[in-house]
Chains A and B, each alone.
Chain A
Amino acid sequence: NAGVTQTPKFQVLKTGQSMTLQCAQDMNHNSMYWYRQDPGMGLRLIYYSASEGTTDKGEVPNGYNVSRLNKREFSLRLESAAPSQTSVYFCASSEGQPYNSPLHFGNGTRLTVT
């Protein structure tokens, strides 16, 4: 089982460039999430999608946009990258309400913005 698949694994951008991080899950999960992980700060939620057709902001949404393309796919877009967005990005999925099941994570995307 693939689980949660993220692409790319690594990316280097120059300030001002744009890019889209892709995420797909094959577990028929309702909810999907984008987190960023920074040293000493744990995981912070950027955006989430509670179910297909809905998206909403998390703790740190500024500078990002998302699209829930269908039940399987949830993409994260950086319109104009900034050095502060250098981070490791994780996509996750879960069954969602009312199950409150554990999150399943992808392998992450390491993004460097110069």
Chain B
Amino acid sequence: AQSVSQHNHHVILSEAASLELGCNYSYGGTVNLFWYVQYPGQHLQLLLKYFSGDPLVKGIKGFEAEFIKSKFSFNLRKPSVQWSDTAEYFCAVNALRTGGYQKVTFGTGTKLQVIP
């Protein structure tokens, strides 16, 4: 069964600090990888996704993530965070399989608090 681990549950940063949120998954086959963001009181929105090709993917609002297949990791990064990045971030994995449904497994989330 696939699973997703997010190691940091709560991260507090000052504005302009750099961000890296860890995500590791367990699944031996081909995967699609996603980061979703949930701003306070809102629903989840797609931040970025990796399907294939360049393992360094860029998303909205200056976020990027790197897929390292050998480490089963898909860490999220941002060089300089802003107060408006305060949100909860979820890593998700879609294990590709023929037939059946699109099974997306979510990590438990990382709450990011950015202090002005």
Contact = CB atoms under 8 A, between A and B. Distances in A.
B108 A40 contact: yes
Could you say which of B99, B102, B109 has the most chain A C-beta atoms within 10 Å of its C-beta? B102
A100 B101 contact: no
A50 B43 contact: no
Given A42-B90, A96-B101, 6 more contacts: A43-B44, A44-B106, A97-B99, A105-B44, A107-B42, A108-B43
Nearest to B97: A97
Interface residues of A, number: 23
Given A42-B108, A43-B90, A97 B43 contact: no
Interface in B78-110: 90, 92, 94, 96, 99-104, 106-109
Interface string A94-114: 101100101101111000000
B8 interface: no
A41 interface: yes
Interface of B: 9, 32, 34, 36, 42-46, 49, 51, 90, 92, 94, 96, 99-104, 106-109
Given A90-B44, A105-B45, A50 B100 contact: yes
A96 B45 CA distance: 18
A47 to B, nearest CB: 11
Contact of B108 (A41, A94, A105): A41
A106 B45 CA distance: 10
B46 A102 contact: yes
A56 B44 CA distance: 23
Contacts of B46: 102-103
Nearest to B48: A102
